[in-house]
Amino acid sequence: MTEDVVLSLARDAIWTTVLLAAPLLLASLVVGLLVSILQAVTQINESTLSFIPKMLAIVVVIIVMAPWMTQMITSYTTELFTSLPNMVRL
Protein backbone atom coordinates (compact mmCIF):
# COMPACT_ATOMS: atom_id res chain seq x y z
CA MET A 1 0.00 0.00 0.00
CA THR A 2 1.58 3.26 -1.11
CA GLU A 3 1.36 6.68 0.48
CA ASP A 4 -1.01 7.84 -2.25
CA VAL A 5 -3.49 5.07 -1.43
CA VAL A 6 -3.32 5.83 2.29
CA LEU A 7 -3.81 9.55 1.70
CA SER A 8 -6.71 8.83 -0.63
CA LEU A 9 -8.35 6.59 1.97
CA ALA A 10 -7.87 9.20 4.68
CA ARG A 11 -9.22 11.97 2.46
CA ASP A 12 -12.31 9.94 1.53
CA ALA A 13 -12.94 8.97 5.16
CA ILE A 14 -12.66 12.57 6.36
CA TRP A 15 -14.85 13.86 3.54
CA THR A 16 -17.53 11.25 4.26
CA THR A 17 -17.42 12.14 7.95
CA VAL A 18 -17.80 15.84 7.18
CA LEU A 19 -20.75 15.19 4.88
CA LEU A 20 -22.46 12.98 7.46
CA ALA A 21 -21.91 15.41 10.34
CA ALA A 22 -22.73 18.63 8.47
CA PRO A 23 -26.56 18.43 8.63
CA LEU A 24 -26.49 17.72 12.36
CA LEU A 25 -24.01 20.49 13.10
CA LEU A 26 -25.85 23.01 10.93
CA ALA A 27 -29.19 22.25 12.60
CA SER A 28 -27.62 22.62 16.01
CA LEU A 29 -25.98 25.88 14.96
CA VAL A 30 -29.19 27.38 13.59
CA VAL A 31 -31.27 26.38 16.62
CA GLY A 32 -28.60 27.63 19.00
CA LEU A 33 -28.46 30.95 17.17
CA LEU A 34 -32.25 31.33 17.24
CA VAL A 35 -32.40 30.51 20.95
CA SER A 36 -29.57 32.96 21.64
CA ILE A 37 -31.43 35.71 19.78
CA LEU A 38 -34.58 34.87 21.74
CA GLN A 39 -32.61 35.01 24.99
CA ALA A 40 -31.10 38.36 24.06
CA VAL A 41 -34.48 39.83 23.16
CA THR A 42 -36.20 38.58 26.31
CA GLN A 43 -33.12 39.03 28.54
CA ILE A 44 -33.33 35.47 29.83
CA ASN A 45 -29.87 34.36 30.93
CA GLU A 46 -30.37 30.64 31.27
CA SER A 47 -27.43 28.71 29.79
CA THR A 48 -29.26 25.38 29.66
CA LEU A 49 -32.26 26.73 27.74
CA SER A 50 -30.85 25.87 24.32
CA PHE A 51 -30.11 22.23 25.16
CA ILE A 52 -33.59 20.74 24.62
CA PRO A 53 -34.33 22.61 21.33
CA LYS A 54 -30.93 21.57 19.96
CA MET A 55 -31.53 17.94 20.88
CA LEU A 56 -34.98 18.01 19.28
CA ALA A 57 -33.56 19.57 16.12
CA ILE A 58 -30.85 16.91 15.94
CA VAL A 59 -33.41 14.12 16.37
CA VAL A 60 -35.57 15.61 13.61
CA VAL A 61 -32.58 15.94 11.28
CA ILE A 62 -31.54 12.35 11.99
CA ILE A 63 -35.06 11.11 11.23
CA VAL A 64 -35.28 13.13 8.01
CA MET A 65 -31.73 12.49 6.80
CA ALA A 66 -31.37 8.85 7.93
CA PRO A 67 -31.99 7.32 4.48
CA TRP A 68 -29.41 9.59 2.86
CA MET A 69 -26.89 9.03 5.65
CA THR A 70 -27.38 5.27 5.51
CA GLN A 71 -26.99 5.23 1.74
CA MET A 72 -23.85 7.35 1.93
CA ILE A 73 -22.10 5.25 4.57
CA THR A 74 -23.18 2.03 2.85
CA SER A 75 -21.81 3.15 -0.51
CA TYR A 76 -18.56 4.29 1.10
CA THR A 77 -18.13 0.98 2.93
CA THR A 78 -19.01 -1.05 -0.16
CA GLU A 79 -16.53 0.93 -2.25
CA LEU A 80 -13.87 0.48 0.41
CA PHE A 81 -14.36 -3.28 0.65
CA THR A 82 -14.47 -3.80 -3.11
CA SER A 83 -11.25 -1.85 -3.60
CA LEU A 84 -9.33 -3.66 -0.83
CA PRO A 85 -7.87 -6.35 -3.12
CA ASN A 86 -6.48 -3.65 -5.40
CA MET A 87 -4.93 -1.79 -2.48
CA VAL A 88 -3.18 -4.71 -0.85
CA ARG A 89 -0.29 -6.05 -2.83
CA LEU A 90 1.92 -8.79 -1.49
Instruction: Give the DSSP letter of residue 1.
Output: -
Question: What was the pLDDT predicted at 59?
Answer: 97
Question: What was the pLDDT predicted at 46?
Answer: 83
Question: What was the pLDDT predicted at 88?
Answer: 77
Element (H or E) spanning 54, and its range? helix 51-87
Q: What is the residue-level pLDDT of the chain in tens, covering all 90 positions?
A: 788 888 999 999 999 999 999 999 999 999 999 999 998 899 888 878 889 999 999 999 999 999 999 999 999 999 999 988 887 764
Which amino acid would we find at residue 66? A
Domain ranges for the chain:
3-82
